[in-house]
Amino acid sequence: MIAFVIIFGILAIGVVLVVHGTVVKNRWGVNLGPVYCPHCKTPFPMVRKPQSLSQAMWGGSTCRVCGTEADKWGREVASPARFQNERSSR
Ligand SMILES: [Zn+2]
């Protein structure tokens, strides 16, 4: 019974993280809409090829036209690799 409560609690936390992340557009969110390059407005392909570990984990793409790296919300990634220092852009 305790194991069930723990598993259910972890699942609930995961759901809250994803829903909250989708609302505030952080890396936990799920973006099902189209994403465009922040510089040249080229649409990113729906099936993406991750260029780095953080892109594989958190989403995001590198523009094949101008090379700009953007997250899965189409926002430019200023400094790749240090995503734990991610500044809030609000
Ligand atoms: Zn571009």
Rank 27-36, 51-60, 81-90 by mean pLDDT and report only the highest. 27-36
Is pTM beyond 0.75? Reply is no
* Per-domain residue ranges of the chain: 1-30, 33-83
Q: How far is the CA of 12 from the centre of ligand 1 (A)?
A: 37
pLDDT over 80 at 82, yes or no? no
Per-chain residues with Cβ under 5 A from ion ligand 1: 37, 39-40, 42, 63, 65-66, 68
- Please say whether the beta carbons of 27 and 58 come within 8 A: yes
**C-alpha of residue 17 to centroid of ligand 1, in Å:** 30
Would you state the pLDDT for residue 85?
Answer: 47
Query: 6: which 2 tokens?
Result: 């723990």
| The predicted structure's pLDDT at residue 83 | 46
Task: Return the SS3 of 56.
Answer: helix
Quote the ligand 1 centre to 86 CA distance (angstroms).
21
% of the chain beyond a pLDDT of 70: 87
pLDDT at 11 over 70: yes
> Which is more confident, 77 or 10?
10
3-state secondary structure the chain: CHHHHHHHHHHHHHHHHHHHHHHHCCCCCCCCCCCECCCCCCECCCCCCCCCHHHHHHCCEECCCCCCEECCCCCECCCCCCHHHCCCCC
Q: Is the pLDDT of residue 41 over 80?
A: yes
